[in-house]
Amino acid sequence: MTFELNYRSGKPVYLQMVDQVKSALASGALKEGDSLPAIRPLAEELRVNRNTVAKAYGELEREGIIETLAGKGCFICRPKSPLRRQVRVEMLTREIDESVVAAHHLQIPRDAFLDLSRDRFDAFEKRRVASDNKAAAS
Amino acid sequence: MNPPVIDISNLHYTYDGQEAVCGLNLQVAPGRCHALLGRNGAGKTTTMKCLLHLLRPQAGTVRLFGLDPAKDEVAVRSRLSYVPDAPSFYPWMSVRETLEYLASFRARWNLSRQSELLDRFSLDPGMKVTSLSKGQRTQLALIGALAPEPDLLILDEPTSGLDPIVRREFIQTVIGAFQEGDASRRTIFVSTHLIGEFEGLIDEFTLLDQGKAILSLDADKARERYRRIRARFPGSVDAVDVPGGLQTRRHGREVEVIANGDGERIIERLRAQSPESLEVEGLTLEEVFMVTANRLPKEKR
């Protein structure tokens, strides 16, 4: 797992890290049982405050995406959400709303937006299959 | 809520009638990395010297860990370390003797941290300090600052004039070795012009100008609040109406606006005037510094 931070994105640094882990999970680059880098070497490599990395990992843990095993590090959990379905739907709705607003600003009409959404699902699916094949081959 | 590690209230300092710091207020909470930014002569070093009790405030108060550095100098000194931009050592001492000398003033000295860092920097303990390069002198000062495991690390332009590799290593060492253990207690107060290199470390910053704080913000909030909006139009942009913004530049068919918290409104208004394209990005801390210190060109046509 490699992180890339962008100080021009306007997004808090710890959230960029959280989102990149989620995205790696969705594309299959990270799987259940995989470990995340330890805080100190990762903070040094990225040259970010250790508190920022700790905050990102704390948020991932709170969302039930990783778990910390004392003395061993942080690992990706079995996909389970501690939240009820309705809460999860509400969380996703907020994210979708943001994209809908962005689409409006970027003058992307509804149908093109929906087509693009389908394409993105396919793209992630493809990456996941590719990464599964690679894992099976090795 | 823990009391602030640094608490500066209405600080004034004047050299020969020249006001260096005038009415500065600044607080830093435990575990934060606070950057003091400003142009040369803005009052950064004077502020740091008042913290270190190298200068006595002429008005206002300075408190470290809730203590007055003038009254409790020993207690305050034992909890902080300072790395200046040009560290000086006794010329007759070797690296080892220098560290032993520095350790003699400290109640706590982590020898394994010292040898870990000597290795990391490939510093030979037998070397005379006079034969060290500028980068090696800074590395030695950093070892001397981190071995006592202070709660507060004060850095005054620590990496200026050093090569990029030494600079990178310096910052990585601060992150790795200083923030070791309880990172929530390890406070950093740094002044630097190399803002981009410290960007990931900085939690919050104060921008000084003529001895006054003109902006004090959380780093993530600053990057969220300051936006660069670029819109390209099919024709001339002379008539394009741009509300607000810190700066507006018009060039050919393009308008570039720096927004400070009013980005959404500006985007909305530009959008309504049918641009061909519109791009938005955040500003880095260095750019926030530049626009706020008014160093980018003003509106021009």
CATH 3.60.20.10 fits A13-76, yes or no: no
pLDDT tops 90 at residue A69: no
Label the pairing between strands B212-218 and B226-232.
Answer: unpaired
Tokens representing B77?
């000194």
> Over the stretch B238-287, which tens digit does the pLDDT of each residue have?
888 888 888 899 988 999 999 998 888 999 899 888 888 899 999 999 99
pLDDT for residue A112: 93
pLDDT tops 90 at residue A25: no
pLDDT for residue B50: 94
| A51 contacts on B by Cβ (under 8 Å) | 31, 179, 183-184, 203
A46 vs A77, residue with greater confidence: A46
Contact status of B223 with chain A (Cβ, < 8 Å):
yes
> Which residue of chain B has the CA closest to A107?
B271
**Interatomic CA distance for residues B1 and A116, integer angstroms:** 47
Cβ-nearest to B284 among A8, A47, A54: A8
Cβ-nearest to A43 among B168, B175, B278: B175
**Interatomic CA distance for residues B100 and B90, integer angstroms:** 12
Q: Does the beta-carbon distance from A8 to B282 stay under 8 Å?
A: yes
> Which residue of chain B has the CA closest to A11?
B224
pLDDT for residue A72: 86
| B271 contacts on A by Cβ (under 8 Å) | 105
> Can you tell me whether residue B214 is helix, strand or coil?
strand
> Over the stretch B25-45, which tens digit does the pLDDT of each residue have?
999 999 999 999 998 889 999
**Interatomic CA distance for residues A135 and A128, integer angstroms:** 10
Query: What's B32's DSSP letter?
Result: -
Q: Does the beta-carbon distance from A47 to B201 stay under 8 Å?
A: yes
What is the rounded average pLDDT for all residues in chain A?
88
Task: Give the closest residue to A1 by CA, choosing from A9, A14, A28.
Answer: A28
Average pLDDT rounded to a whole number, residues A11-28: 91
**Interatomic CA distance for residues B154 and B169, integer angstroms:** 17
Using pLDDT thresholds of 50, 70 and 90, give the confidence band for residue A12.
very high
pLDDT for residue B257: 93
B177 CA to chain A: closest CA distance, Å?
9
Cβ-nearest to A44 among B31, B172, B220: B172
Tokens representing A5?
């931070």
Q: Find where tokens 């995340």 sit.
A: A36
Rounded to 5, what percent of chain A is helix, strand, coil?
60, 5, 30
State the ipTM, two decimals.
0.86
> Which residue of chain A has the CA closest to B288?
A8
> Which residue of chain A has the CA closest to B228?
A8
| B203 contacts on A by Cβ (under 8 Å) | 49, 51
Label the pairing between strands B152-156 and B187-191.
Answer: parallel
pLDDT for residue A17: 96
Task: Spell out the per-residue pLDDT of chain B, length 301, in tens.
Answer: 578 999 999 999 999 888 999 999 999 999 999 999 998 889 999 999 999 999 999 999 999 999 999 999 999 999 999 999 899 999 999 999 999 999 999 999 999 999 999 999 999 999 999 999 999 999 999 999 999 999 999 999 999 889 999 999 999 999 988 878 776 789 999 999 889 999 999 999 999 988 999 999 999 999 999 999 999 999 888 888 888 888 899 988 999 999 998 888 999 899 888 888 899 999 999 999 988 887 544 443 3
pLDDT for residue A136: 77
> Which residue of chain A has the CA closest to B180?
A40
Is residue B166 within 8 Å of B203, Cβ to Cβ? no
Using pLDDT thresholds of 50, 70 and 90, give the confidence band for residue A80.
low
Q: Is B217 left (phi over 0), alpha (psi -120 to 50) or beta?
A: beta
> Can you tell me whether residue B222 is helix, strand or coil?
helix
Q: Does the beta-carbon distance from A51 to B203 stay under 8 Å?
A: yes
A22 CA to chain B: closest CA distance, Å?
21
A28 CA to chain B: closest CA distance, Å?
28
Tokens representing B74?
């020993």
pLDDT for residue B95: 97
Enumerate the β-bridge partners of residue B26: B8
**Interatomic CA distance for residues B7 and B29, integer angstroms:** 9
> Which residue of chain A has the CA closest to B285?
A7
Is residue B14 within 8 Å of B58, Cβ to Cβ? yes
Taken as a whole, chain A contains a residue count of: 138
pLDDT for residue A129: 85
Choose, out of B175, B230, B278, B279, the residue to mutate when testing the contact with A (most A CBs < 10 Å).
Answer: B175
> Over the stretch A94-114, which tens digit does the pLDDT of each residue have?
899 999 988 888 888 999 999
pLDDT for residue B96: 97
| A45 contacts on B by Cβ (under 8 Å) | 172
Task: Give the closest residue to B139 by CA, choosing from B183, B171, B178, B170.
Answer: B170
Query: What's B130's DSSP letter?
Result: G
Stated as kind and residue range, the H or E segment containing B227 is: strand B226-232
Enumerate the β-bridge partners of residue B190: B35, B155
Contact status of B217 with chain A (Cβ, < 8 Å):
no
Q: How far is CA A74 from CA A57, A109, B244, in A?
A: 8, 42, 46
pLDDT for residue B272: 87
